[in-house]
Structure 1
Amino acid sequence: MSASPEPIIIVGGGQSGLAAAHAALSARLRPLVLHAGAEPVGSWPAYYDSLTLFSPARYSALPGMTFGGEDPDRYPTRDEAVDYLRRYSRSVDAEIRTGVRINAVHPRPGGGYLVRTDTGDELAAAGIVAASGSFGNPYLPVLPGRSDYVGEVRHVADYRRPDPYAGKRVVVVGAGNSAIQVAHELAPRATVTLATRAAVQFLPQRIRGRDLHYWLDVTGADRMPRWLLTRLIQHAAVLDTGVYRDALASGLLTRREMFTAFTPDGVTWSDGTTEPVDAVIFATGYRPDLGYLAPTGALHRGLPAHAGGLSTTHPGLVYLGTEFQRSFSSNTLRGVGRDATHVITALAEYVASGSRRWRRGSHQPARSGLRASAKVD
């Protein structure tokens, strides 16, 4: 067992937190998972109804349990992902407390942390795994005229289905998967314009008859180092079988350069023209939901300083599920398990040393988290 009688506290009971608990048990640590939601399935139930994973079922699993189902090449639905995480949480022999929101984390002199919950409880921890994701912190850009606009403004995090938009004029902002999927779903029922700052970049879903994730796996690109990824991937790319590209080419979806301001009843486009609009849906990404770490001083403008998920400022603090943390698939069902093993191994060494030894990598500023869509597989 670990050298400390105190648990490591894992903040968040979604795919990252559950993968961390699995890895912690393998490392003979005592994990305690604290999750704000009603059940340990992460943010999946809050995604829009039609969402499906970008990766086939055979590539969409956490360590120790396959996704299951008769067709391993299908793209599982949102509800299938929820059911999978439900089953996975029951398979992990760790203490999981739901309905617990963390207000603050404080370092303790000599090592370890004190965690305060919204109910006033104080819990001692040998180490912290920040696995709270970003869905709880959607990013909405500030644009002139917003306060005077009388139409509906929402983030895609709050979008569920197309029915309320039937017959309306809608602008969807963003150039990533969520933006394209929602705009395409709305197009048969509403007049939809896709507003982006650059042309939409497409990535083929299938290559030579096989899903992209097959090639990512066999070539090792799924594990490509973070520093190389940040050079190769400059813009969000939409996975597409050709449906979305055809929708833009045919005029089913109209794309315009991002508007510059709101008017009372619509928007002002970059060419100076105005247009009445009933609703604007921003698919403008998320920022890490890490406000509870503010008392530690580990954040810079809300973002963590880390090297591959290991805090470069605070021993015994690790992050899990951040975008491009160590690879292309870091914040996905298929990739977070590898990162969990990496950060938990370092955390186990720290606990075993009595808080005296910490692997410090070179500082790597976290990505801003402002991509046009969140990874959801």
Structure 2
Amino acid sequence: MRDYARRLPAGIRTSTTVTSVTRQDGTWSVRAEDGREFTTRAVIAATGDYGTPFVPDVPGRADFGGRALHAADYRSPDTFAGQRVVVVGGGNSAIQIAAELGPLADTTLATRRPIGWTLQRPLGRDLHWWLGHTRLDIAPIRQLLEKVPVSVLDDGHYRTALDQHGVDRRDMFSRFTADGVVWADGTKEEVDAVVLATGYRVTFPFLRDSGGLDANGAPLHRGGLSTAVPGLGFVGMEFQRSFSSKTLRGVGRDAGHVLKQMRTAVAG
């Protein structure tokens, strides 16, 4: 990444937190936390989906005396060795964390629906290869994919690991207690830790005064180009233009599209 960055004709400012982006008289003003200010004709928000972990408001969570953490703060299974752990979530992150914890801890997956499995390498090729070469992830088909329930991509490794280490699945617990959880059937159980693999929410706090967000803070855009204010674009959001928009396979394609559209808009 450092070698790639050195080849870019761009001034890269690391360790720079942007606090606000505002527009006046056709020019954007970008202000950083340390007081620096940049002016530009165009701004692209490329912070993606993973900046704000989503923590569901499960009753009793404030009273839980064990360890409750989001998957964003999970680092290693070693600190959970010998413990009773519940992993909340039915996506790839939840499955991968549970598979890691299985050999070291008594682990259960808590989900709101049965886990869906998708073969990662059908006919010997990765699913993303098939989507890319068949163009099935490009609109309008992507709009159908958007509505498909969360499914876990697996080549068989994780499913086998869960079975081998006795990681079971249960319906999501109804509430926390001081020392554990209450399962959907009313059973109380003592639990040492709960890992919340419950995803993230798209947030752009630095754009709150830009005019580019709706009342809920979601970006107003079409294909990554703002429909509310000129000179504003987005890159790296889920389903921005395709099924792969927030992956390495899709983000480059979307960036090219956004840049082309913005150059045309700015030139016009």
Q: TM-score, normalised by structure 1?
A: 0.68
* 1:168 alignment partner in structure 2: 83
Q: Tell whether the 8 Å contact from 2:49 to 2:238 is kept in structure 1 after alignment.
A: no
Paired with 1:299 and 1:260, the residues of 2 have a C-alpha distance of 34
Deviations, residues 145-192 of structure 1 (Å, cap 9, x unaligned): 111101111111111111000001111111111110000010000011
Aligned partner of 2:42 among 127, 135, 142: 127
Residue 279 of structure 1 corresponds to 193
Taking the aligned partners of 2:58 and 2:132, their CA distance within structure 1 comes to: 41
Question: Secondary structure, in 3 states, of the residue corresponding to 1:208?
Answer: helix
In the alignment, which residue of structure 1 is the partner of 2:141?
228
Separation of aligned partners in 2, 1:211 and 1:135: 24
Q: CA deviation at 1:229?
A: 2.1
Counterpart of 1:258 in structure 2 is 172
Equivalence for 1:153: 68
**Matched residue of 1:203: which SS?**
strand
The answer to which of 250-259 and 144-153 deviates more is 250-259
Summarize deviations over 1:248-294 as a string: whole Å, max 9, x none: 55672110111111100111111111111111111111112410000
Cα separation, 1, equivalents of 2:70 and 2:167: 19
Secondary structure of the 1:97 match is coil
Letter of the 1:337 counterpart:
G
Distance in 2 separating the partners of 1:145 and 1:128: 42
- In structure 2, distance between residues paired with 1:122 and 1:217: 40
Q: What SS does the aligned partner of 1:167 have? A: coil
**Could you tell which deviates more after superposition, 156-165 or 236-245?**
236-245
SS of alignment partner, residue 245 of structure 2: coil
Matches within 5 A, 1:58-137: 85-109=1-25, 111-137=26-52
**Aligned twin of 1:244:** 158
Query: What displacement does 1:247 show?
Result: 4.3
Deviation at 1:334, TM superposition (A): 1.4
Is the Cα–Cα contact under 8 Å of residues 260 and 268 in structure 1 kept in the other structure? yes
Write the distance in 1 (CA, Å) between the matches of 2:213 and 2:57. 22
Contact in 1 for aligned 2:102/2:162 (Cα 8 Å): no
Task: Output aligned runs, 1:18-37, within 5 Å.
Answer: none
1:348 and 2:266 are equivalent in the alignment: no
Is the contact made by 1:132 and 1:289 (CA closer than 8 Å) also made in structure 2? no
Conserved 8 A contact 2:54-2:198 = yes
Does the aligned pair in 1 maintain the 2:203–2:218 contact within 8 Å?
no
Alignment partner, residue 113 of structure 2:
198
Specify the alignment match of 1:215 in structure 2. 130
Aligned to 1:138: 53
Label 1:155 to 1:183 Cα distance change in 2 as closer, same or farther (>3 A).
Answer: same
Q: Give percent identity, aligned residues only.
A: 50
Shift of the 275–230 alpha-carbon distance from structure 1 to 2, 3 Å rule, reads: farther
User: Among 290, 300, 324, which residue is 2:239 paired with?
Assistant: 324
- Between the two proteins, the alignment pairs up a number of residues equal to 266
Question: What is the deviation of 1:213?
Answer: 2.7
User: Which residues of structure 1 form unaligned runs of 5+?
Assistant: 1-84, 354-377
**Counterpart residue number, 1:291:** 205
Return the alpha-carbon distance in structure 1 between the equivalents of residues 36 and 121 of structure 2. 50
Report the Cα distance in structure 1 between the residues aligned to 2:143 and 2:109, rounded to whole angstroms: 26
